[in-house]
Every structure is written in C-alpha cells, then in structure tokens.
Amino acid sequence: MQAEPRGSPGGFKKSGLTAGQRSGRSGTVVGTNNPMRQLCLVLAAAALPLSAQKPFQSQSPTSAALTIAADGEQTLDIVNSAFELTGTGIPGRPADQHLLLRTVTRSKAVIGDIGVDATTAVDAWPLGTDPAQKPLYTVKATGDEARTIEGEVLVISRGLEEIEWWSVYKLGTGEHLFDTYVPLIHFSISRDTVTNRYVGIQVPEETKDAQLVSTVTYASPERVRARIALSSDDPKQAALLRSLADTTRTVAWSGGALHIVISQNYPSAANTVAISIPIVKDDLDLAHAQLPPHLHLAKR
C-alpha cells in the first residue's frame, strides 16, 4: 500500500518510525491465486516460537459467473478472496502476535443497473492457527471492500450505490467502533510516540431530532473517546445540512484542531459552513470551538 499524506482521508500516515519498525505494522496482502502465498506465510511464521507454529494449507474461492436471462438481462456474480498477514502490536492482542485475515467479497451486478449487491466477510485467526478451525472473529457486512489501517482498525466500505459510507472495527477483536459518511481520517496526537486517533462523521438518514445535523466521532483504536452532536437552532437549516443528496462534508486535521466543512452541492450556491474543534488533552475542546451563529456542539 502507498503511504498518503498525514491525516488524508482513509490514508496511511508516515509515523516517523524506522523502516524496520513500520514494516511490523503494515501487513502483507497475499492473493489466493498467488503461487508465493504459502512461502510468504511460512517465512512469516518462522518469526514465531516453534511451539506456536502449526503448518497448514488453505484455499479460498475466487470466481466469476455471467448469466443471461430469457429477456436478455445479464447478471455477473463475482467472488473475490484474499489473505492478509498483519503486523504485531495490534491493540487488544498479545504484543508479538500476528493475525491472518481472510477477506471474501461476494457481489452481484445486473449489467446496466446502478449499484451492486455485495457482502464482505473478514475472518481472523492468530497466525499458526489452521484456518479450517473457527476464527477468532468474523466481521460480515454489506459492502465491497475491506482494508486495515495502521495495523489497528479494520474498515469496510459500505456504499454500494450513490452514497458512500464506511464502518470501522477494532482489528484485534472485530468489535464495531463507529460508522462514518466521510472518508475516515487518522493522525497521531503525540510527536514523541505514535498515538493514533480516528475521526468520522455520521449523518442520520432519519431522526426524531429535527435540529440534529450530524454526529462527530473521535476514537482511539480501543474505544470511542467522544461523540459530539452538531445541531442548528433552525430545523430547516438542520435538514439541509443533514441532506446527503444536497450537501457535501469533509473533515481534516491540522494545527491541533479538527476542521469540518459542509457545502451545498451544485447548482446551488456553496454557502459553506466551517467548524473548528480543538483537541486538548486527548479530548474535543468544545469550549474553544469556532462555528457559525445558530449552530451548536454538545457531547452525547
């Protein structure tokens, strides 16, 4: 995977660690049809104590099938699978433990239609455990892509039609952390050590609170540390800023603060709303947040 700029949406931050230290967290992706797969796994397992190693061989399906109905409608069914070897130091796992991940994505697309039906399942085993045995955990969700970030969290892309969104899980346990309707960002709050934090924005499609705009989530790899509700005094403004069809939102990290921007989509005028929330002592500092009139932030 290529490193992206620090704090970039869904990207991998340059941590300032040495190349050898980074390699322990980056993980290795091995396709099921790759003839080097077994060799890669054996070499990785060689780093583990012999008592923890058990040789195994595992295969997963990869296929594509096109069917044509009597009326000419074409449907393509695809099954893709891949193995991934994580690094060590995964939160919630023994410090020297690797995980073997198997991701299987099954999709069905009607040619000419918008969107696809897809599910993604991720199984995890401690390296050295035969994948024929019950996995440590299984994460399964509608979606068409799964990836790990910083060797700490697992992210599944859930948007199968026009609206993109993502679910974030703990890599060590598979437990759900939060959902986000902007690409996940992450950054370190410390210059001395890598102390990653993850931020997303959840936008409710339906809500009984007419003044609610969205919820900002601030999390460590182990837990959600804060959830902040953004609301408006004006229910009409709240409905507009909440609309996934009419507005676009972004979130970024710079200068010790989160910067959230919500803009109306073309052909409307942008009417950009900008919000800044400082992060102080590993918490969102609402007392010094900057936001336009009639908008408010409150912890949930």
Sign, CA dihedral 283-289-295-296, equals positive
Write out the residue range of the structural domain in which residue 292 sits. 185-300
Task: Kindly state whether residue 3 falls inside one of the protein's structural domains.
Answer: no
Q: Are residues 80 and 124 in the same domain?
A: yes
Task: Kindly state whether residue 208 falls inside one of the protein's structural domains.
Answer: yes
Q: Are residues 233 and 299 in the same domain?
A: yes
Task: Kindly state whether residue 39 falls inside one of the protein's structural domains.
Answer: yes
pLDDT, residue 113, reads: 86
User: Residue 291 and residue 297: Cα distance in Å, rounded?
Assistant: 9
Which residue ranges in the chain fall short of pLDDT 70?
Answer: 1-53
Q: Are residues 150 and 32 in the same domain?
A: yes
pLDDT, residue 52, reads: 54
Does pTM surpass 0.95? no
- Of 159, 180, 201, the residue at which a domain comes to its end is 180
- How many folded domains does the chain comprise? 2
- Of 180, 203, 219, the residue at which a domain comes to its end is 180
CB 97 within 8 Å of CB 90: yes
User: Residue 182 and residue 260: Cα distance in Å, rounded?
Assistant: 10
Q: Are residues 203 and 60 in the same domain?
A: no
Nearest to 295 by CA among 236, 242, 209, 232: 232
Tokens of 154: 């697992």
- Of 180, 196, 229, the residue at which a domain comes to its end is 180
Q: Are residues 171 and 192 in the same domain?
A: no
pLDDT, tens digit (0-9, with 9 covering 90-100), for 97-138: 999 999 999 999 999 888 789 999 999 999 999 999 999 999
Q: Are residues 98 and 33 in the same domain?
A: yes
pLDDT, residue 106, reads: 94
Task: Kindly state whether residue 77 falls inside one of the protein's structural domains.
Answer: yes
Q: Are residues 300 and 277 in the same domain?
A: yes
Q: Are residues 67 and 138 in the same domain?
A: yes
Amino acid at 125: W
How many residues does the structure list for the chain?
300
Q: Are residues 70 and 139 in the same domain?
A: yes
Task: Kindly state whether residue 12 falls inside one of the protein's structural domains.
Answer: no
